[in-house]
Amino acid sequence: MNNREIGDRIRQRRLELRLTQGDVAAAIGVAVSTVQRYEAGTIDKLKLPVLDAIARALRTTPEQLCGKTPPDRPDSRSSQEIPYRPTHRIPILGRISAGLPLYADEHIEGYTYTDLNGGAEYFALRVTGDSMNAARINDGDLLIVRRQDIVDNGDIAVVLVDDEDATVKRFYREGNTITLMPQSTNPVHQPQIYDSQRTRIRIQGRVVRNEIAY
C-alpha cells in the first residue's frame, strides 16, 4: 500500500466532491493538518479504521482509495458505482456536564458524519479513560450515541449522575436501584450503585457504534 498514491486518490476524490480539507477533517474528527498529511502521503502507517473513515466521508470505499477497483466518480454509470447514502452531521462532544444544554458550544469540540437515520437524533462522544476497555471502548475512541432518555438493562449508555459530568457504563435498573457497571481490565473501576430517590440519574443516550481511535 503506497501512502502517496492513496493520498493522491484521497485528494482527487475530495476535489471531485467539491469538499475542502476542513470538510473532511470535520467528518472524521481530526485536524485539518492531519488531512493534509493524509493527502501528502507522509503518514507512515495509514491504519484501516482511518482509511475506512476517510472513505465514508468521501462516499467511496477503502479498496477504491487503495486503487484496487476503478475510482467511483459522481457522473459514472458503471456497475462499480457506489450508491449514495445520505449522511448527516452530528456534533462531537468532548464532555457532557450539568447546567448546560447537551449541544451547548462549551461541549462541542467538532463534528462528524453518520449514515444512521430513522428519524432518531445522534451525537458523538469522545471517550476518556479506561473504565470500558474490556468492552473494546478505549481512551480516545469516538462513540456514536442515539439520544434517548430510556434504555434497556445491559445497554451501554451515556448517563449524567447527580449534576456531575457524564459517564459511559452498562446501565441496569431494579426498582429504585440503578447500577452503572464498568467493563474494565483496571480493577480501580467498580460498579456504581445509586438510589434513584436520592441521586438524580439522567440518561443522555444509548451507545450504538464505536469508531476506534486513530
Residues with Cβ within 8 Å of 210's Cβ and at least 6 positions away in sequence, in order, are 136, 137, 141, 142, 143, 144
| Nearest residue to 50 via CA among 28, 33, 67, 19 | 28
C-beta atoms surrounding 179 within 10 Å? 15
Q: Which CATH superfamily is domain 88-211 in?
A: Umud Fragment, subunit A (2.10.109.10)
- Give the DSSP letter of residue 40: H
Q: pTM, whole model, 2 decimals?
A: 0.58
Please give the grid coordinates belonging to residue 24: 473532511
User: Residue 77 has what pLDDT?
Assistant: 38
The CATH fold assigned to 3-65 is 434 Repressor (Amino-terminal Domain) (1.10.260)
Distance CA 158, CA 75 (A): 42
Please give the positions annotated as active site: 131, 169
More reliable by pLDDT, 152 or 210: 152
Express each pLDDT in 91-110 by its tens digit.
888 776 555 566 666 678 88
Confidence of residue 179 (pLDDT cuts 50, 70, 90): very high
- Give the distance from CA 128 to its chain's centroid: 13
104-127: pLDDT as tens digits:
666 788 888 777 765 678 888 888
Shortest CA distance to 124 belongs to which of 101, 92, 156? 92
Domain ranges of the chain: 3-65, 88-211
